[in-house]
Amino acid sequence: MDFNLSTEEWLNILDFSRNGVVVVDREGRIVFMNQTAAKVVGISSEAAIGCRVEEIIPSTALLEVMKKGKNQSRQKMMVNGNMVFTDRMVLRKKGKVVGAVGIFQDISELEKSSAELESVKSMCKELDAIFEAVADGLVLVDEKGCVLRVNQAYQNLTGITNEEYRGKHVHELIKEGYIGRSLSDKVIQRKTPYSAIDIRNGKELLLTAIPVFNEEGDIMRVVTATRDITELSDLKNKLAESEAARDRYLQELKRLHAQLPYKFIITNSPTIKQKIELALHVAQVDSNVLILGESGVGKDLLARLIHRSSKRALKSFIEINCGAVPANLLESEFFGYEAGAFTGASKEGKPGLFELAQGGTLFLDEVGDLPLELQVKVLRAVQNKQITRIGGTKIINLNVRIIAATNRDLEKMVAERTFRQDLYYRLNVVPIVLPPLRERREDIAPLAKEFLAKFNSKYGYQKWLHQDVITRLTNYDWPGNVRELENTIERAVVTCRNDCINLDCFSLAPCDEPAKCRDISMLKQNKAEEEKQLIVETYRRTHSTRKTAQALGISQSSVVKKMKKYGISENHIVDDAMSRDSNYVIE
Instruction: Return residues touching ligand ATP (CB under 6 A).
Output: 264-267, 293, 295-301, 365, 407, 447, 482-483, 486, 555
Q: How far apart are CA 446 and CA 441, in angstroms?
A: 10
What count of other Cβ atoms lies within 10 Å of the Cβ of residue 394?
A: 8
Q: Give me the least distance between CB of 235 and ligand ATP, in Å please.
A: 48
Residue placing its CB nearer to ligand ATP in the complex, 299 or 532: 299
Residue placing its CB nearer to ligand ATP in the complex, 367 or 390: 367
Residue placing its CB nearer to ligand ATP in the complex, 40 or 402: 402
Do residues 432 and 291 make contact, with C-beta atoms less than 8 angstroms apart? yes
Q: Dihedral (C-alpha) 206, 211, 212, 214: value to the nearest 10 degrees?
A: 180
Do residues 75 and 88 make contact, with C-beta atoms less than 8 angstroms apart? yes
Contacts of 281 (CB under 8 A, 6+ apart): none
* Strands 82-93 vs 317-321: parallel, antiparallel or unpaired: unpaired
Residue placing its CB nearer to ligand ATP in the complex, 301 or 396: 301
Q: Give me the least distance between CB of 418 and ligand ATP, in Å please.
A: 18
Residue placing its CB nearer to ligand ATP in the complex, 87 or 442: 442
Residue placing its CB nearer to ligand ATP in the complex, 263 or 417: 263
Residue placing its CB nearer to ligand ATP in the complex, 99 or 261: 261
Do residues 431 and 465 make contact, with C-beta atoms less than 8 angstroms apart? no
Q: What are phi and psi of 371, to 5 degrees?
A: -60, 145
Q: How far apart are CA 380 and CA 375, in angstroms?
A: 9
Q: Give me the least distance between CB of 431 and ligand ATP, in Å please.
A: 14
Q: Dihedral (C-alpha) 235, 236, 239, 240: value to the nearest 10 degrees?
A: -150
Alpha helices per DSSP H over 416-544 = 421-427, 444-459, 467-475, 481-495, 522-525, 528-542
Comparing every residue's Cβ against ligand ATP, the nearest one is 298
Q: Give me the least distance between CB of 334 and ligand ATP, in Å please.
A: 18
Residue placing its CB nearer to ligand ATP in the complex, 185 or 294: 294
Coarse DSSP helix, strand, coil percentages of the chain, rounded to the nearest 5 percent: 45, 20, 30
Do residues 305 and 262 make contact, with C-beta atoms less than 8 angstroms apart? yes
Q: Give me the least distance between CB of 485 and ligand ATP, in Å please.
A: 8
Residue placing its CB nearer to ligand ATP in the complex, 164 or 442: 442
Do residues 507 and 492 make contact, with C-beta atoms less than 8 angstroms apart? no
Residue placing its CB nearer to ligand ATP in the complex, 262 or 539: 262
Q: Strand order in 401-406's β-sheet?
A: 317-321, 361-365, 401-406, 289-292, 430-433
Residues, the chain, total?
587
Q: Give me the least distance between CB of 298 and ligand ATP, in Å please.
A: 3
Residue placing its CB nearer to ligand ATP in the complex, 355 or 366: 366
Nearest-5° angle of CA 389, CA 393, CA 397? 65
> CA quadruple 549, 553, 558, 562: dihedral positive or negative?
negative
Q: Give me the least distance between CB of 311 and ligand ATP, in Å please.
A: 23
Q: How far apart are CA 277 and CA 80, in angstroms?
A: 101
Q: Give me the least distance between CB of 392 and ligand ATP, in Å please.
A: 32
Q: Give me the least distance between CB of 482 and ligand ATP, in Å please.
A: 3
Residue placing its CB nearer to ligand ATP in the complex, 182 or 555: 555
Q: Give me the least distance between CB of 276 and ligand ATP, in Å please.
A: 9
Residue placing its CB nearer to ligand ATP in the complex, 299 or 308: 299
Q: Say which DSSP state 169 is in.
A: B
Do residues 150 and 162 make contact, with C-beta atoms less than 8 angstroms apart? yes
Q: How far apart are CA 485 and CA 520, in angstroms?
A: 11
Q: Give me the least distance between CB of 445 and ligand ATP, in Å please.
A: 12
Nearest-5° angle of CA 152, CA 153, CA 157? 120
Q: Give me the least distance between CB of 520 and ligand ATP, in Å please.
A: 15
Q: How far apart are CA 209 and CA 428, in angstroms?
A: 63
Q: Give me the least distance between CB of 454 and ligand ATP, in Å please.
A: 9
Residue of 402, 370, 428 whose CA lies nearest to 303: 402
Alpha helices per DSSP H over 265-394 = 270-283, 299-309, 327-335, 353-356, 372-384
Q: Give me the least distance between CB of 350 and ligand ATP, in Å please.
A: 25
Q: Say which DSSP state 466 is in.
A: -
Compute CA distances 404 → 318, 362, 401, whole Å.
12, 8, 10
Q: How far apart are CA 160 and CA 441, in angstroms?
A: 84
Residue placing its CB nearer to ligand ATP in the complex, 223 or 276: 276
